[in-house]
Amino acid sequence: MDDSSVEPFDELLVFVDGASKGNPGESAAAFVVCDGDGNVLFEMASRIGIATNNEAEYWALLLALDFLRQWKVKRLSVFSDSELLVRQLQGTYRVRSPKLSSLHQLAKERIQGFPSFTITHIPREKNQRADSLASEILTSRVRL
């Protein structure tokens, strides 16, 4: 498919969240993609196996970045209720865990594929849809 005729999005808002039953334990990652006006365009949740909560947060971001690589977007604004994820990607916090270090590196590499990228820490109440998606798939009996 020739995507040269596809109009780029000026801005996409992406809300990411990870969840873990135990730390580490069975985990899930979710993201919600909205247009600049806040209208939901796409949402996804996936089980990711055994991980810590912080690893699940990184996986949520990585899943979103991988998915959005195919979209034409001028500005990607990501929101997370994980202060650790946000501050590590902003360079405020050091990455100490070897597992998180490799996930952090993958995230930094994928972020380079977007012309403009920001990540912002938000309260959990502002991230309810992504939080619900991650929790729902984690507690559902259906295995995909």
Domains of the chain: 9-139 (3.30.420.10)
The DSSP code sequence of 123-134 is -GGGGHHHHHHH
Q: Is 87 exposed, middle or buried (0-12, 13-18, 19+ CB in 10 A)?
A: middle
Say what the pLDDT of residue 7 is: 75
Instruction: Indicate yes or no: pTM above 0.95.
Output: no
Alpha carbons 64 and 31: distance in angstroms, whole number: 6
Residue 5 in this model has a pLDDT that exceeds 60: no
Return mean pLDDT, the chain.
94
Two structure tokens written together for 67: 């998915």
The CA distance from 130 to 3, in Å, is: 29
E strands, 81-140, are 116-121
